[in-house]
Structure 1
């Protein structure tokens, strides 16, 4: 459920989108939360300069002058984009897909290691310089997992996924059992308390009802937040274990026919997933801030902060209903009721269970593969695109569908190079390992190459799951929001009379209908980046502008993280003709061409500054309502002034770039090429200035002052997190300190955006 309101300020249009629950990251579904197109409960906002407004239509052609290109270079770029759109082949996409989904390939498994060789060989065949980066990461392996109901009547729950008729994939050897990675081992017995989604607001409801979970085992349903929040909050309230089940209301029969008769989750399908405390830090839990290589100091097990605090086990709704129907106590509030054919009670008890888990921890081999295409003009400006290769089981949707689209782009660019084209900037294609357990591969690589990335990385483009429909969604740093809109305007899916932008806008208007005489939504929202996929280390740790994009449709997440995210399910219900894989490659390919070849990088810091101003206004309003006296200690006026100066500097730099692209003279004695190089350097480095070296309070790995995942929203973003979370907790002394840090960061960035001053 969304709401929208509108305002105008000069040449800037403001669209405010708020959502009732935190999102997952674009396209890669997390914890049963629907496709991300919007920001978290912190209210995402998209500011657009007037230059970026206006929906595309027709053939999806590029505008007369593409953002960042001169008129002459725009014509050449349009021709290259036409070639890129025609290049991806459904047959080649399916061939890559069939290889990559042939066996289970979780991190450290034999087939995942073989796939690293497959991708490296493919990159080499495309003419790329292929390199493997290997790390040794701490991973849990599931041993015994048992849950027995001991009262009111004894019954042993199945815990494992059922084998579904007509699907031979469940018989394949090497499938990981259903478990939650980074759960501790444990052997506990206790009464069950149903806690709905298990988020902080649900415990407030329990408190009002006079129900405690201390000494109990909580039963939470997937959804409402990232799964790792559920055991974290449960432990803080004294629970001794956490069980997470899939309710058919979120992705089962309440949504439609279940597999094998439809795409949705069946009675015996289980969602695996990590419960690492990633809002504290992602990557190898034993080496925060350091790459997991031989000789690197590792934390002892009892010093690691990101393990779940209590044992956690996922269940199907076949097992979940056995627990729920044995609960008494108050009837659950209406919002807590799922779609099982029972009356939902909260408990505690009389259902009582014995839960026994054993996790075996050890070092496992992780392999990232990087294919490098050298730039012709600015080889030390890197455009990086990445997709993860690993999966919980077969990974048909998550994330082989995204990975094959990335490979299609690499293949297409290789063919263009054979015809004489070379990208202006270097393009790096990266096949990540270890994403599912906690962004391991991307985090270790960024920690390994931090200094080089600081110097060279211009943009990171993320391709996770999401080649399964026409529903385009994106989150990005907001300097790239106008770029994303124009990208969507340039793509017209085969068989459609409208562009991706048109379809996106229509869907956004349906989700946020105009009310009280307001005009309809003008532009679809580009979300703010929280966490949950491989952009996290790039943006939040180093300050590299990032984009996450995907294409999904209803039902595309019905097998999420189960054995049935496999070729049979995918080819029957998601992308039978691989046309969406082709579409995803077209979107990614055009984005990379524009970023790699733009004479002036297509960043809009005026839009970014306007967005930051809106975030400041949100926090100020919250603080003034919560504590009028406390809010006075926070320098909101100073933050606004710094954001306005940041936006003004961005507008001035963009104007200078536009003058050069239009054929105008460079300032001073500098030639046009030199002036453009200076502008591009400023555009790249301004994002680095938004990094606070000391990091955020209580979690120094996260260092970006504008974006971070919330400590209690998981993947959902907290914008201006240092100030906002301090206000959330009523700590106005900390909020005032963090406001000063934000002001200094914005002032640094504004100065960087004035390279001639």
Structure 2
């Protein structure tokens, strides 16, 4: 684990005299052209360094070393060409410590050479064969071994502004990236979790946060949303603490420190906030702009013990019953406290530029090599990061090793499988978002789906999936085939299914901004999913703290972390097999018909208000109907076509894989509203924003802007109609009256 911590801490930098393995660098290849970012690039003379670093993430066993030696001997006996021998020795012989990782794990490409030849095709393998093969090569012990791997201050002031007490900030390395620097002085108001409904309750109670600092609990929503809500309420600063109520009882007894603060960034967005909507490549001439999602007020994490000292000084109304946590002997009042009680928060965050390194590897597909199924995990972590990055990295490496073994034993991928290890994800999915921004113009033509391994194991009670509707039915089928890690004789599907509830309501959750899969769907229009095991009662409390260790995570699972992680690997592995192997992409392109019907129906209660203004929802329903008919027509065309007609297969797959992209609004700029998806995105172009604006007709008529609303309605309607037209096929097949 110490080795893993060292690698993660230096992942954001570059060692002197060494070339960084990243696409965020102006690297030139032969002919002066920039190097591509889709395959792992190994600079000349550095193979040993790179392989050594990656091998440090794995603890190879004696059996692995024996296998590696056997491969070397067999290769020496079965030389086909001198070139093959030289290539083999150059790649494997330079790294004797890589036996656990295996030199042929991924398709490794040098700047000058080509990928290794694929094995000679054997007899066709079917779903049952592939499932059995995957389970044969997946190793639980390998997953387990891989997982083991400027000061700010807060003062209390007297009425004259003199410092009465310097309050401790016990974790000097824990802070809020992207917090506004500066000073905030005022009283203190308690706002529960900092949700919008919490601030609404304060307003109903006559408590105004304006001009004061706000103290909120960790949980329910992201740090960024808490700060944005406090900013909107005109608070001067935000303090965020973990309340013992949100920590499972058995973990409190295990000694969770009351002096621990929780790390979290406060940017209401993803990626580099100083290059919104475009990539942070070194050769980009950055304009002096920044993301509108950056907060305007300072924010800082504090520990439960510091929070207790502050909350004990508050006066005023008692907090609602469901706002009260478990800080010892704290009455939980709303504040702002005695007029003589004031706080001074000073945040001295400094903006610096840092090189980051994403690492890629791939297995090239045989029939559709230009279509990519992408699987990724974050590699960085502020502390030990067992749940934050260790599990995801372990699963990524184990899946790569497993698929490597399958390919050597006859598995032929139809589409390319791309493995990605992301850097700087703890700062708001910077590594993955910058990559998306850099290749946005091609990804909607090539990316089939994205599977995230981040936060895969936070407990073992409930299995959840944050996902696009296109993947929901496929996930359901796979859950029926994977055994539950904690209920013998049951599948994961049976574990989460109840007679009086739909399985999807128990498992499927919407994509949220803090999810690493979110920018793939909301920004790039790529269907994405993020799996996780979580506790039924309360979330894993050590995430983004210095206590996120293997021992704590494994202890929370009663020593069953490897088994639970293996179950995630089985779900993900079967999903990857289906997406890379099936002739027809198993994406449910008709699912958005039901989603659209539900979203448009939310507008129905306001039909009379619309009618009085000469407006109607008829054309939005018409667009939804056109989409549903286009989906049915495509389904009939597929069923009536010949499965072995490769040309037709490709045409059908191209239409299916671009469905998510069809729902990106073409009427907003990515630099101004990067999350352009009308259903999952954020901004005035979304159906959610349309509904919120319509609600003002009853809640606050004076704030309703009819001209703006008409534009919102028109553009949203035509985005939906455009999605229906695109799914219909060729232009001459679309029958729309203009």
**1:198 has 2:185 as partner:** no
Partner of 2:326: 339
- Confirm or deny that 1:652 pairs with 2:633: yes
1:210 aligns to 2:206 (yes or no): yes
Distance change >3 Å, CA 681–CA 698, structure 1 → 2: closer
Contact 1:193–1:347 at 8 Å: present in 2 too? yes
Distance 2:512 2:539 in 1: 22
- Residue in structure 1 matched with residue 617 of structure 2 by the alignment: 636
Counterpart Cα distance in 1 of 2:686 and 2:460: 29
Give the alignment of 1:418-497 within 5 angstroms.
Answer: 418-467=408-457, 468-494=459-485, 496-497=488-489
Unaligned 5+ residue runs, structure 1? 1-72, 100-142, 162-175, 515-519, 712-717
User: Any idea what the Cα deviations from partners look like across 1:106-149, whole Å, max 9, x if unmatched?
Assistant: xxxxxxxxxxxxxxxxxxxxxxxxxxxxxxxxxxxxx1211122
Distance 1:707 1:188, change over 3 A: closer
The equivalent position to 2:299 in structure 1, one of 307, 312, 320, is 312
Q: CA deviation at 1:441?
A: 0.5
What CA RMSD, in Å, does the superposition of the two structures yield over aligned residues?
2.7
Residue in structure 1 matched with residue 673 of structure 2 by the alignment: 700
1 CA distance for matches of 2:233 and 2:494? 47
Question: The residue matched to 2:407 in structure 1 has which SS?
Answer: helix
Q: Secondary structure at the match of 2:376?
A: strand
Mapped partners of 1:579, 1:556: distance in 2: 19
Equivalent position of 2:249 in the other structure: 256
Distance 2:650 2:140 in 1: 39
Alignment of 1:216-615 (within 5 A): 216-251=212-247, 255-258=248-251, 261=254, 265-278=256-269, 282-300=270-288, 303-340=290-327, 341-350=329-338, 351-467=341-457, 468-494=459-485, 496-506=488-498, 514=500, 520-521=501-502, 523-524=504-505, 526-554=508-536, 557-574=540-557, 576-577=559-560, 578-615=562-599
CA deviation string 1:137-187 (max 9, x = no partner): xxxxxx1211122359933322124xxxxxxxxxxxxxx711111112222
Q: What CA distance in whole angstroms lies between the structure 2 residues aligned with 1:703 and 1:274?
A: 22
From the superposition, tell whether residues 528 and 567 of structure 1 become closer, same or farther in structure 2 (CA, over 3 Å).
Answer: closer
- Deviation, 1:575, is 6.7
Conserved in 2, the CA contact under 8 Å of 1:376 and 1:424?
Answer: yes
Greater relative contact order (Cα 8 A, min sep 6): structure 1 or 2? 1
1:511-550 alpha-carbon deviations (Å, 9 max, x no partner): xxx5xxxxx4365452332321222332112211112222
| Match in the other structure for 2:155 | 148
Give the structure 1 partner of residue 144 of structure 2.
94
Instruction: Write out aligned runs for 1:617-636 (5 A).
Output: 617-621=601-605, 623-624=606-607, 628-629=609-610, 635-636=616-617
SS in 2 for 1:551: strand
**1:101-180 superposed matches below 5 A:** 143-151=150-158, 154-161=164-171, 177-180=173-176
1:402–1:584 contact (8 Å) kept in structure 2: no
TM-score w.r.t. structure 1 length?
0.73
Q: Give per-residue Cα distances to partners, 1:596-630, cap 9 Å, x unaligned.
A: 11111112222221121111102333x45xx8357
Q: Which residue of 2 aligns with 1:752?
A: 726
Equivalent pairs counted in the alignment come to 591
Cα 1:236–1:631 shift into 2, 3 Å: farther
Give the match for residue 64 of structure 1.
none
- Paired with 2:227 and 2:133, the residues of 1 have a C-alpha distance of 50
Question: How far off its partner does 1:363 sit?
Answer: 0.3
SS in 2 for 1:431: strand
**Partners in 1 of 2:616 and 2:528 — Cα distance?**
29
User: Does the residue aligned with 1:361 lie in a helix, a strand or coil?
Assistant: coil
Give the distance between the partners of 1:588 and 1:424, measured in 2 at CA: 17
Change (3 A) 1:405 1:634: farther
Match for residue 185 of structure 1 among 178, 181, 186: 181
Partner of 1:677: 650
Query: For residues 349 and 154 of structure 1, what CA distance do their matches in structure 2 show?
Result: 16
SS at match of 2:456: strand
Quick check: 1:290–1:296 contact (8 Å CA) kept in 2? no
Change (3 A) 1:361 1:729: farther
Contact 1:184 1:310 in 2 (8 A): yes
Secondary structure (helix, strand or coil) at the match of 1:178 reads coil
Residue 87 of structure 1 and its aligned partner are, at CA, apart by 2.4
Q: Does the Cα contact within 8 Å between 1:190 and 1:354 map onto a contact in 2?
A: yes
Counterpart contact for 2:378–2:454, Cα < 8 Å: yes
Superposition deviation, residue 277 in structure 1? 1.9
Q: In structure 1, what is the Cα distance between the partners aligned to 2:629 and 2:220?
A: 38
Offset at residue 380 of structure 1 (A): 0.9
Gaps of 5+ in 2: 1-122, 698-703, 734-738
- Could you say which residue in structure 2 is the equivalent of 1:688? 661
State the secondary structure of the residue aligned to 1:579. Answer: helix
* Structure (1 or 2) with the greater strand fraction: 1
Q: Tell me if structure 2 keeps the 8 A contact 1:435–1:533.
A: no
| Change in 2 beyond 3 A, CA 1:678/1:191 | same
